[in-house]
Structure 1
Amino acid sequence: MQNNHPSISGLPLVSIVIPCYKHKDFLKRCLDSVAAQTYENLEVVIIDDCSPDGSSEEIARLIQSVSWESRFPNRTQFYPFTKNQGAHAAINYGITQAKGNIIAILNSDDTYHPQRLQLIVKEMQAKGCEFAFSRVQYIDADDRIVTESHPQARSYFAAQETIRQFPSVGFACFTYNVSISTGNFVFTKELFNRVGHFNNYLYCHDWDFLLRSIVHTEPLFLEQDLYYYRFHGKNSFESLGSIGSQETHKILTAFISQIRNSLPPNRLAPSPFNWPDLFELFIHWYGYDKLNTSG
């Protein structure tokens, strides 16, 4: 991996892409968690998707502070959209502007553990991985841990606890978005160029990108609490749930069609080529054989 800042020897440049929409109240905590990263070679790319709540002004104020500029000298890009384009468009634009060979996404209402990128990049390099995500903890608007008390948080946490039960991480990803959120994604720019942009889904753009990625590479799952997902009453899953089933059907149909028609580059990916007997049992068990994948 190329090092874009030679003064930080041996560390690949990581671009943290932060899409924002109406999260003014959480921006300082989000950016503070970026500034607190123990990993040194970072740049930050922030995209505000035409927020009506003053988020752009708040971002500009925060990144102009002395402390921010001393932590990220000439390594912050900020793009305020003049028209709302959706989360997928904000993420895609940020990635195309990023200079790093590794992309880390952070949703603007969430936060990172201070050692997140140091630990993930180290493991990615040691194991030659192109895509990684970690275990997630869940917080409320006041930063209190709600992993055990919030029903949806319990469900999400339980889903990640099942990952080790599957024959591969890719199989776990096939059953559910066990990465939980785009903000939990860390991947190489080269992988993004092969997989393609995030698609225009309101609810499942993260799972769609994850499934398309596992065709190419086996994900790395770090069983450490390195990402903090915030429940604050205005999360997208709460307002877009009715759309989720439609999008889920569409992305699963496309994924199954792809892996049935050609040998995936990832030799651990769930497919009839890699797992000839297990694959058919698996899709029958999960009811995926009822999907119309003939097209």
Structure 2
Amino acid sequence: MNEDIVSVIIPSYNYEKYIVECMQSIVDQDYKEIELIVVEDYSKDNSRQIIKSFLNQDNIIKRFINIVYIENEENKGAHYSINKGVMEAKGKYIAIINADDLYERNRFSCMVPKMKTGNKQIMFSNVEIIDGNSKISSTEEAEKFRSLPMEVNKYPYVSYALLRQNIAISTGNMLFTKELYEKLKGFREYKYIHDWDFILRACIIDEPEYIANTKYYYRLHDTNSFRRLKDIADIEVKIVLEDFFALIKKGSNNPALNKEKVFKEIKEEYLKVHWNRTNFLLRKLIKHKYKYKILKHRKD
């Protein structure tokens, strides 16, 4: 495993409009030691042809340490594509980018040195919110997302802010070691919040670090997955948190989570805010006989 290589994984599904811009933001990184892995998840649009055409250019081939292109034989979902990509990764560090999002040019030159000097296993950055035309968005929803990483300033530890809500916002905003990924046994089979589940479980092993001097460009548009079946995502939240608290009882390597009094206060605050809503949603789904097999996502 190369100590300097960042393996960047793109799980691609039906984003023909954005995929080239996404890949170009990786090409433009001022950090040179990058492996690019694209996992095409059986898109119904022209994503496959667009990706292959882009990756076959001589200048793109020369830009990267290595390029891996994988096509799923059927649509498997983001968690599957990410896990498949990580299995192919040769780098010490793993980054994921949503096929409709972008990186700031200095992302890895800022984050990798801090990962090394701080001996950190997971880190996330500031965010900027863009619209479907890659312009800075000023909608009320965008302002809400933009403010989420600032929640770190309200708590003594990053992990406490993450417990309150997913202030990292997206899987694409994380940089982590392959060693950490292997300890966590990958991303679990949640449809909408596999990212939050992953970083919460990571908190048990290492206190995440937030870095403000580079940005992840998160795109808000009509086809964002979190906007579909939001009620189901809220149900997944309840299951993820129950599993997280069960893991905490078994012990943690993160000193922040071993401060029992403070952690108990954070836990109680969170449950007070969210439990009534998720219980209401469960009753709502049962009433309408919505057959969503959420329990299959639960892992030991």
What TM-score do the two structures reach when normalised by structure 2?
0.88
Per the TM alignment, residue 196 of structure 1 is displaced from its structure 2 partner at its CA by 1.2
The alignment partner of 2:228 has SS state of: helix
Partner of 1:281: 265
Separation (CA, whole Å) in 2 of partners of 1:56 and 1:91: 17
1:264 aligns with 2:252: yes
Partner of 1:34: 26
Structure 2 spans left out of the alignment, 5+ residues: 280-299
The alignment partner of 1:24 has SS state of: coil
CA RMSD of aligned residues (A): 1.8
Instruction: Give CA-to-partner distance per residue, 1:247-292, whole Å, 9 cap, x none.
Output: 0000001101111x222011223xxxx2121122222222259969
1:89 aligns with 2:73: no
The alignment partner of 1:19 has SS state of: strand
Partner of 2:40: 48
Structure 1 spans left out of the alignment, 5+ residues: 4-10
Instruction: Give CA-to-partner distance per residue, 1:82-116, whole Å, 9 cap, x none.
Output: 10000000000000111111101111100100110
1:109 aligns with 2:100: yes
Partner of 2:282: none
Partner of 1:15: 7
1:172 aligns with 2:161: yes
The AA in structure 2 aligned to 1:88 is H
Per the TM alignment, residue 27 of structure 1 is displaced from its structure 2 partner at its CA by 1.0
Separation (CA, whole Å) in 1 of partners of 2:148 and 2:141: 11
Partner of 1:213: 202
Tell me, yes or no, if the aligned pair for 1:130 and 1:188 is still in contact at 8 Å. Answer: yes
Structure 1 or 2: larger helix share?
A: 2
Separation (CA, whole Å) in 2 of partners of 1:164 and 1:145: 24
Tell me, yes or no, if the aligned pair for 2:7 and 2:95 is still in contact at 8 Å. Answer: yes
Change (3 A) 1:185 1:35: same
The AA in structure 1 aligned to 2:68 is Q
Tell me, yes or no, if the aligned pair for 1:132 and 1:222 is still in contact at 8 Å. Answer: yes
Instruction: Give CA-to-partner distance per residue, 1:192-250, whole Å, 9 cap, x none.
Output: 01011111111111000011110001111001342100112100011131211110000
Q: Following superposition of structure 1 onto structure 2, how do residues 88-167 of structure 1 map, counting pairs within 5 Å? A: 88-146=79-137, 149-167=138-156
Partner of 1:231: 220
Separation (CA, whole Å) in 1 of partners of 2:265 and 2:102: 39
What TM-score do the two structures reach when normalised by structure 1?
0.90
Change (3 A) 1:72 1:134: same
Partner of 2:291: none
Tell me, yes or no, if the aligned pair for 1:283 and 1:289 is still in contact at 8 Å. Answer: no
Tell me, yes or no, if the aligned pair for 1:170 and 1:214 is still in contact at 8 Å. Answer: yes
Tell me, yes or no, if the aligned pair for 1:203 and 1:240 is still in contact at 8 Å. Answer: no
Partner of 1:7: none
Per the TM alignment, residue 167 of structure 1 is displaced from its structure 2 partner at its CA by 1.1
Change (3 A) 1:61 1:216: same
The AA in structure 1 aligned to 2:250 is S
The AA in structure 1 aligned to 2:40 is D
The alignment partner of 2:105 has SS state of: coil
Per the TM alignment, residue 150 of structure 1 is displaced from its structure 2 partner at its CA by 1.9
Separation (CA, whole Å) in 2 of partners of 1:62 and 1:169: 38
The number of equivalent residue pairs is 277
